[in-house]
Amino acid sequence: MKILSKLNEQQRNAVEYNAGPHIVVAGAGSGKTRVLTYKIAYLIQEGLEPESILALTFTNKAAREMKERIRELIGKKADSLWMGTFHSIFARILRIEASAINYSSNFSIYDREDSVSLVSNILQYLSINLENVTANSIQHKISNFKNHMITPEEYSNNIASTIAEKKIGEVYIEYNKRLRENNSMDFDDLLLKPIELFNNHTRILQKYKKMFKYILVDEYQDTNNAQYEIVKILSPLKDKLCVVGDDAQSIYGWRGANIRNMLDFEKDFNKSKIFRLEQNYRSTKNILLAADSVIKKNTEQIAKTLWTENPEGEEITLIKCSDEKDEAFQIAKKIKKEISTKKLSLNDIAILYRTNAQSRALEDAFRREKIPYKIVGGVEFYRRKEVKDILAYLRVLSNQDDEESLLRIMNFPQRGIGNTSITKMIAFSRKHNLSLFKTMARVFEVIEVKERIQKNVKQFRILLDKYIALQSKLSIGELTSALVDELGVLRMYKEENSQDSVSRYDNVHELLSSIQEFNKEFPEATLEQYLAEVSLVAGIDQYDESKNSITLMTVHSAKGLEFPVVFITGCEEDIFPLNPRFDSDSKIEEERRLFYVAITRAMKKVFISFARSRYRFGEVAYQNKSRFIEELNPDSVEDVIDGSNRKSGRRRKGDFDEYYQESYDDFDQERRSFRVGSRVSHDIFGQGKVLAITGNGDTQRITISFEDSGTKQLLVKFANLKLL
């Protein structure tokens, strides 16, 4: 077939095979996406109807790119494919079949923050107060239980043994009960509820088994137990199943991914066949030599050896730094040299780090050196407070049972409805088996609430009723613009006129613009469809590779991307690998796979930096070089560049030292917005509340009670806190 002429022999064999379940082990840069897209195009050209193909991915970005490539090969037939992320595809099926599992099709989808808020409310409702156990940590446990398909009853009856675990079991039971009452699901439910649906309704299962005649799964190494179970349940009668992945890039064990799904595929699916894609088209020989020398240290893997016809290329450059400031300075200098000598664009270069906390010094250096940059995977746009506030309004208009969203907006903008009054209303709603939304209409019966506040609640309910009725008369864009205008949100942020409020003002404007764009692309879309779309947007989905700037991101965010030049920073024990002293061998192997992913993002050149000391958790920590550096094949590495011993001895005044003074002066301005009682976020410790601020200038300290990590005292200068 003509379209297969561009494939190598191994790729073509994988595309043409159609005699049973098969797994394509696709090494980094070996054409995984090409095989998937060509296979789907090939199946359609061979007579399979596009709507009978289910193609499951892990990011919306991957789904969009693949569908566009398939469209280029076969035309508009590609539009009929069932292609998308596990979560988006099964959210779509759950909306169609919602009544079978006692849900309404307009159910809300809770993100992690919504789920933590629900757990917090349940802890208060059940009067549970466990030492060193927070709402955040309990939500994480619940998510882990769901990823491993452990029900609340199973956990409470068969697993929980201590008093604390029994209490967590109570929270888990109430959590699931509240989700159903709120006509809501969390992200994990989008994978568990389909299993419940298919197991309990044979007719519905047969409907989809008949509909999907071929299933393809991308990034199979990242599937968790629930995703594996869905694939098994839906697997077509003739085993028309193709999964593609790379066990060497399995890096999501911490969120439930099970590498055994990849390693045991041949055991799990009878008469299955394995195809190996080992020719790399992305990287130079030296980069592959370095990557291979590291990953070969892992014991759990499918045997393969990457090779390439690309040039030998440059060796890996190691940069030894005195601290994180020196590291940032050296990287900025190297970037300028790479751009000038190799005529590269800014977006040809990526800076990768293990944790988000490492970006601060890099950002400071790039601002000083006037190097444009963008951060991928920071606070995602749709997770920003002001954006979530507006979306919470829309979720209540769509689903009045969504209590968490209603609680979020009950007193935003401020309308004099305090926590005490809300608590009394919730107690009334529980006593009379009402939703909080219905309680608002009967607020005058809640005699514990003052008359003035009762009137405020009534007016708020009238406002919501007005916009609920307007849904059928206005487009989503018109509805949201009118609502935001009546709420006076933009006016409020404009009048506040602080750096923070200006940013929030811009973000609300951006949200309104994005809704208008969605409206233009899908003029017939309902509010429920828009909310379903944005609830499943991930940080990497918003990555704009056309913007000419340096890319800063975690290694996890970089998976699936490639750049001519890659800097891998912070390669020290306790950072990369993260906490090796306390990790099992399996976790170290996952950290090693993560390092392998970092190296194989590069096409032409890799720089690896490490520091002798680094500010961590508000104090100086002395670092040891990462074991992964020692595992690199010496033939792939050039001599260490010792940035801390440059010939100049000390930088010129007006260069590096002055730069850092200026950047921290800027940070002084930024941190003035912190107040006792402020809610803040830290990349390592999570979210917390400011208890005290002492001192000033470089020695100013801030005491914070973190939900996950207890009370910490940090130097504001280095804490990299974000105001929530």
Return d(Cα 67, Cα 632) in angstroms, integer.
38
Return d(Cα 480, Cα 346) in angstroms, integer.
37
Instruction: Tell me which of 10, 11, 32, 189 is the catalytic residue.
Output: 32
Strands 679-682 and 722-723: antiparallel
Instruction: Tell me which of 188, 218, 246, 324 is the catalytic residue.
Output: 218
DSSP string covering 668-722: HHHHTT--TT-EEEETTTEEEEEEEEE--GGG-EEEEEETTTEEEEEEHHHH--E
Return d(Cα 594, Cα 564) in angstroms, integer.
19
List phi, psi (to 5°) of 184: -135, 155
Instruction: Tell me which of 174, 186, 219, 389 is the catalytic residue.
Output: 219
Cβ(383)–Cβ(598) below 8 Å: no
Determine whether 139 is an active site residue. Answer: no
**How many other C-beta atoms are found inside a 10 Å radius of the C-beta of residue 319?**
23
Determine whether 415 is an active site residue. Answer: no
Determine whether 708 is an active site residue. Answer: no
DSSP string covering 518-550: HHHH-TT--HHHHHHHHHT--GGGG--TTS-SE
Return d(Cα 82, Cα 75) in angstroms, integer.
16
Tokens at 295, concatenated:
């990953």
Max distance between CA atoms of the chain, in angstroms, equals: 79
Cβ(577)–Cβ(628) below 8 Å: yes
CA distances from residue 116 to 140, 203, 390, 533 in whole angstroms, order as listed = 9, 36, 19, 21
Tell me the residue type at 219.
Answer: E
By the 10 Å C-beta count (0-12 exposed, 13-18 middle, 19+ buried), 235 is classed as middle
E strands, 292-447, are 317-321, 349-353, 373-376
SS (H, E, C) 612-626: CEEEECCEEEECCEC
Contacts of 253 (CB under 8 A, 6+ apart): 259, 586, 587, 590
Q: How many Cα atoms are found within 13 Å in the side-chain-facing hemisphere of 85?
A: 19
Determine whether 61 is an active site residue. Answer: no
Tokens at 568, concatenated:
């891998």
Instruction: Tell me which of 601, 604, 605, 627 is the catalytic residue.
Output: 601
| Beta strands across the sheet bearing 550-554 | 373-376, 550-554, 349-353, 563-568, 602-611, 317-321, 641-642
List phi, psi (to 5°) of 271: 55, 35
Tokens at 242, concatenated:
């193709």
Residue 55 β-bridge partners: 83, 216
Instruction: Tell me which of 57, 59, 221, 249 is the catalytic residue.
Output: 249
Cβ(723)–Cβ(504) below 8 Å: no
Return d(Cα 197, Cα 98) in angstroms, integer.
9
Residue 554 β-bridge partners: 353
Q: Position of tokens 């401020």?
A: 414
Determine whether 32 is an active site residue. Answer: yes
Q: Give the three-class secondary structure for 375.
A: strand
Q: Give the three-class secondary structure for 461.
A: helix
Determine whether 249 is an active site residue. Answer: yes
Instruction: Tell me which of 33, 471, 526, 542 is the catalytic residue.
Output: 33
Return d(Cα 471, Cα 468) in angstroms, integer.
6
Return d(Cα 28, Cα 566) in angstroms, integer.
15
Contacts of 563 (CB under 8 A, 6+ apart): 348, 349, 350, 551, 601, 602, 603
Which residue, among 306, 302, 431, has the nearest Cα to 31 in the 3D structure?
306
Cβ(306)–Cβ(27) below 8 Å: yes
Give me the active site residues, please. 32-33, 218-219, 249, 601
